[in-house]
Structure 1
């Protein structure tokens, strides 16, 4: 399978090249040259399969032409040591709980899968060291850092915006040490993402060190997230709730919903998608106007969605054909909602009191969008992307409570913060990396 750039100004790459490089030479994002469909009879039988078996089926569709089946199955097995249950919140609305991995966030699957796939290619090529640059608005940093922790031949640099991730999120990637370096950037997530992209394009840096990314920029990070969608469908199909399925995705950098759109293109029978936004609503504006206008992000209580220029928008445009009908095709399948901090807080409080279900700020956006839009006969599932305790201060304040911190998070909180502060200008970042 070859992977082309969304900018289409560079030669197609192999899977190995796309994973190791991360970003195409023309600054575009890699896309597979074709999407392999999964047969309807296989999809109908998913309800009889385990999460591991489902993930293997999907992984082979993506990567089976490039990796031996036994090797690929082992990578999937090493990635999945946890379940992602669908939980009923109301008769029509279900939560897909994606916070049962090591860092209690949905990005655990993508981070762990990429660590193992990149490690496989490093060994295959006999490389000494690959350096992973990753910008995070919250959970990406912890998932990638923990996925790559101790992996031989890989050093990870996590760039995060100072004061704009929750304390618990921060401790999950700043306390690890070993092959993980945390860089605290005096700016926003968009500044962090800009630094990462600029580093990939800098010839001097790339001569000095081999760079790749573990953001959803990288195909090995975002494609495995499609496992979740097939697994959710299988669980709902077991209980007869998979007809007229509507999936709502809290959306920041849009890697997660893009993975869902790939699953849909592969044949998964999802009726429609909803992209739930906080006040960073450039995608909703695009749906309404057909014009994409990126702008600086603003801080909200759903901080992992504080993205003003989502990278994966380029993949969505490419997936639905960059022509005059693109906007029409996208809006036929995807709708959008935006919620203020006050609306998010009200949803968390109301659902907890009425349904006894604890939402995190991002999941609250997903729940509320479904409640606002589900039609007769439709069943909705929203992706509850991180454990509410990762946003403990916010949730406690909303509920007037003291929610319990799971043991996994408590273990991270005992570590000592190890991070380096940097300005948001590229020269400072570049000079730092040149010393490594």
Structure 2
């Protein structure tokens, strides 16, 4: 398996090289050079497997053969050691609960796989700094995945005041090799600083860096696993009528999660249509409607992990659909864009709880709204990806639903721990100072 850059100006590399490189040298993002579709027999095998079984079957196809089979199997078993159940919300609408990992968010799955892959792949004699920008959940997932791992340090950038207290405490209370950096700005500023660091050749000569956002192909590809897992669970329940279309709604911010779903479809996963469900930061739904991609400054919402005005993974989506035909037409065939306000998000959280007894975090609520709108327009059976535990958004739950969400142990454990935070302006020299040891 070889990987190429979306910009097309970097020679193909191996999976290990792509994982350690992060962004490609030409400024693009790595994507698989070729995706070989699964056969009907392959799908039959996958439909009967657990998440770990599915991951092991797909990993060789997606990662190549750089790791021995038994080592890869052990790695995946260790990383994917928590449940990812598919739960029915109402007839025809199902929820894939991706929040049962150590930091209560879907990012745990890919971050844990990536950290274990990087630990086995890296040959660097000096500590590698894993640099990550977070709009909510990525930072804690990556920090926990690499916490205490020999040979690695973690630097998490987040926009000060724009993540919830629960999200923040999950990574600011970690000691040892994790540094939390509060940036005076928005998530897009954090991403800009990360991109600048990776482009700083002088810095990278002295301080090895690794990317842990979904710009890293090693963080993105493991997300393919749970799309197959959702489909397999639905198939075993028999709740999808034979001719009904399968629609999957993905809450979308930086669009790595949706990119993984579209890769799964290219591999042959029988999903008929996806919904890119966003809040008012709707540059991709707007592109699907107008044909113009117009990034802009992000706006703060209650679904803060989706507050992204320039989603970097959209370049990968365009590359997936640039096979000689009309890219926009092909995308519109597989993907619908739906955007919702905070008011609509809160109303859906309240209604689903009152009518079904199910608590949704604000991101999953956006996904639910997108799914319901698409099913109303075109019919079918639907799955929404539940990306975070409701308790991480207790304040929003209290105002929207009127109850206090039960706090899981992962949040209770860090509630009284001291936080370690380095504050910086949204300026690259300030980040460089942190990375080179001037501030910590």
| 1:14-53 pair list within 5 angstroms | 14-53=14-53
TM-score, normalised to structure 1, is: 0.97
- State how far apart, in whole Å, the 2-side matches of 1:68 and 1:244 are: 38
Give the conservation status (yes or no) of the 8 Å contact 1:23–1:212. no
Give the conservation status (yes or no) of the 8 Å contact 2:188–2:297. yes
Q: Which residue of 1 aligns with 2:107?
A: 107
Q: Which residue of 2 aligns with 1:229?
A: 227
Q: Which residue of 2 aligns with 1:138?
A: 136
- State how far apart, in whole Å, the 2-side matches of 1:233 and 1:428 are: 46
Q: Which residue of 2 aligns with 1:83?
A: 83
Q: Which residue of 2 aligns with 1:403?
A: 405
- State how far apart, in whole Å, the 1-side matches of 2:337 and 2:305 are: 17
- State how far apart, in whole Å, the 1-side matches of 2:344 and 2:18 are: 40
Structure 1 gaps, min length 5: none
Give the conservation status (yes or no) of the 8 Å contact 1:142–1:172. yes
- Secondary structure of 2:163 counterpart: coil
Q: Which residue of 1 aligns with 2:58?
A: 58
Structure 2 gaps, min length 5: none
Give the conservation status (yes or no) of the 8 Å contact 1:93–1:380. yes
- State how far apart, in whole Å, the 1-side matches of 2:184 and 2:413 are: 27
Give the conservation status (yes or no) of the 8 Å contact 2:93–2:382. yes
- State how far apart, in whole Å, the 2-side matches of 1:102 and 1:168 are: 13
Give the conservation status (yes or no) of the 8 Å contact 1:249–1:366. yes
Give the conservation status (yes or no) of the 8 Å contact 1:38–1:61. no
Compare 132-141 and 236-245 and name the one that shifted more: 236-245
TM-score, normalised to structure 2, is: 0.96
- RMSD between superposed Cα atoms in Å: 1.3
Q: 1:428 to 1:139 in 2, by over 3 A?
A: same
Q: Which residue of 1 aligns with 2:249?
A: 248
- State how far apart, in whole Å, the 2-side matches of 1:89 and 1:148 are: 34
Give the conservation status (yes or no) of the 8 Å contact 1:64–1:72. no
- Secondary structure of 1:105 counterpart: coil
- State how far apart, in whole Å, the 1-side matches of 2:201 and 2:323 are: 30
Q: 1:333: Cα distance to partner?
A: 0.3
Q: 1:127: Cα distance to partner?
A: 2.7
Give the conservation status (yes or no) of the 8 Å contact 2:367–2:385. yes
Q: 1:258: Cα distance to partner?
A: 0.4
Give the conservation status (yes or no) of the 8 Å contact 1:274–1:369. yes
Give the conservation status (yes or no) of the 8 Å contact 1:37–1:61. no
- State how far apart, in whole Å, the 2-side matches of 1:383 and 1:195 are: 29
Q: Which residue of 2 aligns with 1:166?
A: 164
Q: Which residue of 1 aligns with 2:367?
A: 366
| 1:384-399 pair list within 5 angstroms | 384-399=386-401
Q: Which residue of 2 aligns with 1:424?
A: 426
- State how far apart, in whole Å, the 2-side matches of 1:232 and 1:98 are: 10
**Number of residue pairs the alignment of both structures matches:** 434
Quick check: 1:177 aligned with 2:175? yes
Give the conservation status (yes or no) of the 8 Å contact 2:82–2:101. yes
- State how far apart, in whole Å, the 1-side matches of 2:374 and 2:132 are: 35
Q: Which residue of 1 aligns with 2:295?
A: 294
Give the conservation status (yes or no) of the 8 Å contact 1:86–1:95. yes
Give the conservation status (yes or no) of the 8 Å contact 2:15–2:64. no
Give the conservation status (yes or no) of the 8 Å contact 2:250–2:275. yes
Q: 1:46: Cα distance to partner?
A: 2.7
